[in-house]
Structure 1
Amino acid sequence: MSEDDHMWGYLFLALAIVAEVIATTFLKFTAGENAKWWAYAIVVVGYVASFTALSQSLSRGVPLGIAYAIWSAVGVVAIVIVSWLLFKESLSWVQIVGLALVISGVGLLELGGKH
């Protein structure tokens, strides 16, 4: 695997995260009595794009465990921030500490894999 392939792998991982965050954000518009039909389309397209990009990331040498840890953790942190900013959902100090621990944990996984 070349260094370029590895760089592309992480670029595809970033695209997978963005697509997943968009899809998950639009889930909010599919819930309840005022569900929007167009939101379902965005959710489906977003998740398909996310998994496609994640697969491309793996095919370019990003290890599965690292890719999934980064994808899920960054997604969780991003969704919490998006929910707080756009939907005015609460965010306590305990939750902020939890987010910091999630980020730290993924960072340790990444560092632990370096040789």
Structure 2
Amino acid sequence: MLKSWIFLGVAIVAEVVATSGLKASEGFTRLWPSLLVIAGYSVAFYFLSISLKDIPVGLAYAIWAGLGIVLVALIGWLIYGQTLDAASVIGMAMIIGGVAVINVFSKTAVH
């Protein structure tokens, strides 16, 4: 079971790397960032599919989407200088809180 959570973590990191690379690819006109995007999404979906052997799809997707949103927004802020206002920070905190609630209290979560 722990392996499935590790696989989900790998999938999330790969998806965040791929999504962050989309901006650098400039509409798939730059080779190396474009290859990073393709490789990242390939790794992400492969490891997501493996993690779904033990983790319910709804739970895995909630964690994938929630953490992906927050991490990509943070990368946009750190690397691309995109601004995060109070509303976006509060919204991301709510997303993290929602993922935590699902993991701690939901009966669909595998504990």
What's the TM-score, normalizing by structure 2?
A: 0.91
Q: Quote the residue 2:34 is aligned against.
A: 40
CA offset digits 1:8-29 (Å, max 9, x no partner): 0000000000100110011011
Which structure 2 residue ranges, 5 or more long, are not aligned? none
Find out whether 1:22 has 2:33 as its counterpart.
Answer: no
How many pairs are equivalent? Answer: 108
Q: Quote the residue 1:54 is aligned against.
A: 48
Which protein is bigger by CA-based radius of gyration?
A: 1
Give the counterpart letter for 2:90 in structure 1: V
Sequence identity, in percent? 37
CA distance in 2, matches of 1:7, 1:89: 35
RMSD of aligned alpha carbons: 1.6
Find out whether 1:31 has 2:26 as its counterpart.
Answer: yes
Moved over 6 A (4+): none
CA distance in 2, matches of 1:99, 1:19: 20
CA offset digits 1:35-76 (Å, max 9, x no partner): 4111111101100100000011012x1111110100111011
CA distance in 2, matches of 1:42, 1:27: 9
Find out whether 1:74 has 2:67 as its counterpart.
Answer: yes
Q: Quote the residue 1:88 is aligned against.
A: 81
